[in-house]
Amino acid sequence: MLPLPDELLAHTGPIRSVEQPAQGLSFEVHFLEAERGRFVLKIGATPDKITELADEARVLRRLRDKVPFVAQPLGQAVAGGRGLFLFTHVEGETLLDALGREDTAGRHRLIARAAETLRAVHGWTPDLPRPADWLGDALDRAARNVATGAVPDPIPARYDFAGADPRALLDELLAGRAAVAPDIVFGHGDPCLPNLLARDGAVSGLVDWSRGGYADRRYDLVTALWSIGHNLGGACYGQTFLRAYGYDGPREGLRYFQKLYVLL
């Protein structure tokens, strides 16, 4: 971990210990035990990741009334060419870890709590920009991903539509766009199981808000469904999720956004 700049140490006080939790590949994350409490330091090593940290801080500033369910942003800095983002710690373990200790009934219960949580988030109305054409922007990003080879060809086995040609999926999305009515809500952007926190049998928080903002509700839903299916297997957990969320739209509509998720 990089030494903390003085402007971040002003929030934490002297650091007593540092823990590096299991994490994905995008960011370096450290839990800090410090004189003034427990904090999280997130480090981005590239310009794109530094921008993502700034995006996350911007979203969290608009969600201060949701503390402690979401973290409170404290400060940002750049040191050694790396972006540092300090925020408060949200209590709980990842929902993925919590599910790993549950029996089938316990898993269904926690999945239902996750769905209810996402439904509540979709009812928030923070003061953030609303896109004029979210789906059009998303399709543009998908097209760039396909054109630049950012989407593997064929689609890998861990995703829906495994073995498909990404160009064919993009053509299907473009052809079906006119039939998709927008359903814009405030969303998390990546509500996968590791980004939900659990404590005492309940969902205690949501982390990693760099993709948060107003977007189509169904994109959050298919992101969560992919994570549930990938980590737990079996369609029954996804059915529990949709039922607890209260989603009563057509499954074909979700299928459209599942294709979009694969390309994004």
Q: What pLDDT digit, counting tens, does each position of 191-225 carry?
A: 999 999 999 999 999 999 999 999 999 999 999 99
Residue type, 61: R
Residue after which a domain boundary falls, among 65, 88, 111: 88
Domain count, the chain: 2
Residue 127: predicted pLDDT:
98
Structure tokens at 87: 């925020």
* Residue 67 counted as domain residue: yes
pLDDT reported for residue 234 = 80
Are residues 159 and 234 part of one domain? yes
Among 54, 70, 88, the domain boundary falls at 88
Same domain, yes or no, for 198 and 257? yes
Using pLDDT thresholds of 50, 70 and 90, give the confidence band for residue 121. very high
Residue 202 lies in a domain: yes
CATH number at residue 51: 3.30.200.20
Domain presence at residue 76: yes
Say if strands 213-216 and 184-187 run parallel, antiparallel, or are unpaired: antiparallel
Domain annotation covers residue 1 = no
CA distance 16 to 181: 52
Same domain, 144 and 251: yes
What range defines the domain where residue 155 resides?
Answer: 93-263
Give the ranges where 14-165 is alpha helix by DSSP (H): 47-61, 95-99, 104-121, 134-148
Do 172 and 119 belong to one domain?
yes
Q: Is residue 130 domain-shared with residue 240, that is, in the same domain?
A: yes
* pLDDT at 1 (0 to 100): 64
Whether 69 maps to a domain, the answer reads yes
Residue 24: pLDDT band (50, 70, 90) is low
pTM above 0.85, yes or no: yes
Assigned domain for 255 exists? yes
Q: Are residues 218 and 111 in the same domain?
A: yes
Are 147 and 41 within one domain? Answer: no
Buried b (16+ CB within 10 A) or exposed e, 65-80: ebeebbbbbbbbeeee
Instruction: Assess contact for 114 and 102: CB atoms under 8 A.
Output: no
- Does any domain span residue 207? yes
Quickly state the pLDDT bin for 251 (edges 50, 70, 90).
Answer: confident
